[in-house]
A and B are shown apart, each in its own frame.
Chain A
Amino acid sequence: MAQITTIGRKTYYDDIIEKGYSRRDFMKFCAMMAAYLGLESSGVAQVAQALQTQHRVPVIWLHFQECTCCSESFIRSSHPIVADILLDKLSLDYTETLMAASGHQAEVAKAKTMKDYYGEYILCVEGTVPTDNNGVYCCIGGRTAEDILKEAAAGAKALIAWGSCACNGCVQAAYPNPTSATPIHKIITDKPIIRVPGCPPIGEVMAGVLVHIITFGTLPELDGAKRPKAFYSKRVHDTCQRRAFYDAGLFVETFDDENAKKGYCLYKVGCKGPMTYNACSVTRWNNGVSYPIQSGHGCIGCSEDNYWDAGPLYRRMQTFPGFGIESNADEIGIGAAVLTAGGLAAHAIATNIRKNKLIEDLITEGKESEKELKK
C-alpha cells in the first residue's frame, strides 16, 4: 500500500495541517493511535512518519442491511482527527452516509475509484447482504447488494467487515432470518477480510485498524476468527473492573438488590463478558467515559457470532434452538434424568419378573451354601 503513487494525491499530514490542526495535535493523535495498536513507544514515530509520507489509501465504504451504528461509532472516536481526516475529507471515496455527492454523481465517483485504483483500494462493508429472492431485500440504485459487493470486491486489495452485521449477520440474520441476511465472508471468499465485530465496534478500534493499514502497509495481525489481535484477543471479562467480585463469588442477583449497589459481578444477571472477545473493558466508550458493565449493565456479547439467538440477555442460561424459547440445557437435562430414572425403575421391576428363574437359582444356591456351611 505504501507504494501507491498517484499524482495529485496528498499525504495525510498535508490534509491534517490544511484542516487547521497543529503539529502538536497531529503528534498527539499519532501517540494515541500507536497506543491503541499496542505498539512500543518508537511506534509513535512510525505512525507519524507514515502519515506524513504516505499518500492516502483510497477507501470505498458500502452500506447494506445495517443501521449505520458503525459509521456513527467511527465518527465519534475520541480524537477529532479520526472524523475529520480519516473519514470526512480524505479517505472515503464513496460512502452513502457521509459523502457530499449523491445519485449519479456518487456512483460515478465510486466507479472512478474502482477503476483508477484497481487492486489498491480498501473496501469497507457495513451490513449484511440478503440472498433470498435474488437479493431484492436490499437494492441500491436498482442493483442488489450482492451484485454491488461482488463488483466492488473484485478490485479491492482487502475487505474490512465493519460490525457484527458484516461479520456474522447480527440481528437481521437472527432466527428465522427472513431475508437470508449473509455476512460478507460467506460471499467474498477470495480476498483477505478483516472482521471487526461489535454492534457497533468501538470507534477507536475502527480507526486503529485503518491507521495500522496506513502505517505499515499491511493488514494487522489477525486471530483465528480473522479479527485484529490487538483488539480482540482478550475477553471483556479478563480486564473487567468487576472481576474481583466474580472470583470472590459475589454476584448481583437482581438489578435492584443490595449487591447491585455494591457493584458486584453481573454474571448471574446474564453478563456475557466471559465469552466475549472485545476491547470494551480496556478502551471503553465515548472517549473512555464508560462501558456497559461499568454503567451497571451486563455485557450482551454483541461482538460474538450468533449472539441474538444464544439465549436471554438477562439470564445466564443459553437456550437450545428447537426446544422452545425458554428451554435451557439444565431443564432438558433434568427432564431426561427423570425419564431415565423412570426407565431404570421399570427395568428393575421387569428384571425381577422376567429373569426370575436366574435370580431364584442364584438365591437358592447361595442360601443352600449358607446352610451347609457349619460355621
Chain B
Amino acid sequence: MNDLAMHFKHLRRVFVWELPVRVYHWINALAIVVLCVTGFIIGNPPGIMFGGEAHESYWFGTVRFLHFASAYIFLFNFLFRLYWGFVGNKYANWKNFIPTNRRFFKEMWEVLKIDILQIKSGEHLSVGHNALAGFIYFLTFIAFAVQCITGFGLYAAMSHSLIARMFVWVSPFLGGDFALRRWHHAAMWFFILFAMVHVYLVFYHDYVEGRGEISSMGGGWKFIEEEVFEEQNSKTSA
C-alpha cells in the first residue's frame, strides 16, 4: 500500500433501475430509432427507378407499416412507463420529473452550474436522475405525447382500429392534417437532438464520476462511495 491508498474507495452497490424500467428504456430507444428512420423516409422518400409494375413492389407500404407498428409499441410502452411512475421504486417515481418544490429548482440550478456550464467545481451526486435530467425527461414525455397525438391523429384517417378511432378529434382540433404533419415532422428533430445530448451526457457522467452510469441501464445498479452513502443518509435524516 502506498499513499495513494487514500484514493481507494469502497463502493456500495445501489439498485436503481428495476427490470421494467430497463426494459421500457430499451424498447423505447429501439422504437424511437425505428420511428425516426421510417418517419424520415416517409417524409423524404428516396428516388427509385424501377422497371417493373407497381404491384410487384410494396416497399413504401412496408416502411409505413413499420412506422405504424412501432408507433403502437411506442404508445403502449409510454403508457406503461407512466403507470410505473406510480408503482415503481423511488428513482422511477413521477416526482423525479415534475418540479413540485423549491428544492427541485435549486438542484436544477446546481446541476446546471456544475455539469453543464462548469462554472462551479466539484461534482453533484444524485443516485437516480438529477433534477435537471428529470425535468428534461419530463419535456421528453411531453414530446412523446405530442408525437402520439399528432401521429395517431394522422393515422385516424387510415385505420378503423379502435385506438386510431380514438384520435379522430385531433385533426379538426389542431387545424387539419397539414398542421399535424408539420408538427409531427418537426417534433422528430426534438427526438434526434435529445438522443445526441442524452448519449453524450451518459458518457460524460460515466467518465467524470466513475459510478457505472452507462452500465446501469443494463444491470440496473450504480455504485457509490461508502462515504458518500453515509453522507447522503446523514443529510436526509438531519
Contacts and interface: CB of A to CB of B under 8 A. Distances in A.
Interface of A: 223-225, 234-235, 238, 244-251, 253, 258-259, 267-268, 272, 274-277, 301, 304-307, 310, 316, 318, 320, 329-330, 332-333, 336-337, 340-341, 344, 347-348, 350-351, 354-355, 357-359, 361-362, 364-366, 368-369
A257 B208 CA distance: 57
A238 B156 CA distance: 12
Given A247-B58, A337-B189, A224 B172 contact: yes
Given A248-B59, A250-B57, A358-B209, A364 B4 contact: yes
Contacts, number: 151
Contacts of A362: 208, 210
B interface: dominant SS: helix
Contact of A249 (B59, B116, B121, B123): B59
Nearest to B185: A329
Contact of B193 (A253, A301, A304, A337): A337
A199 B15 CA distance: 63
A248 B169 contact: no
Interface stretch (B75-83, B88-96, B101-109, B176-184): B176-184
A259 B54 CA distance: 12
Interface of B: 4, 7-9, 43-45, 47-50, 54-61, 63, 116, 118, 121, 123, 157-158, 168-169, 171-173, 175-182, 185-186, 188-189, 192-193, 196-197, 200, 204, 207-210
B54 A248 contact: yes
A224 B156 CA distance: 13
Q: Which 3 residue pairs spanning A and B have beta carbons closest together?
A: A249-B60, A224-B172, A333-B189
Given A301-B178, A333-B193, 9 more contacts: A234-B157, A238-B158, A247-B61, A250-B57, A305-B178, A332-B189, A337-B193, A365-B8, A365-B9
A332 B190 CA distance: 11
A358 B43 CA distance: 45
Contacts of B168: 224
B33 to A, nearest CB: 15
A329 B189 contact: yes
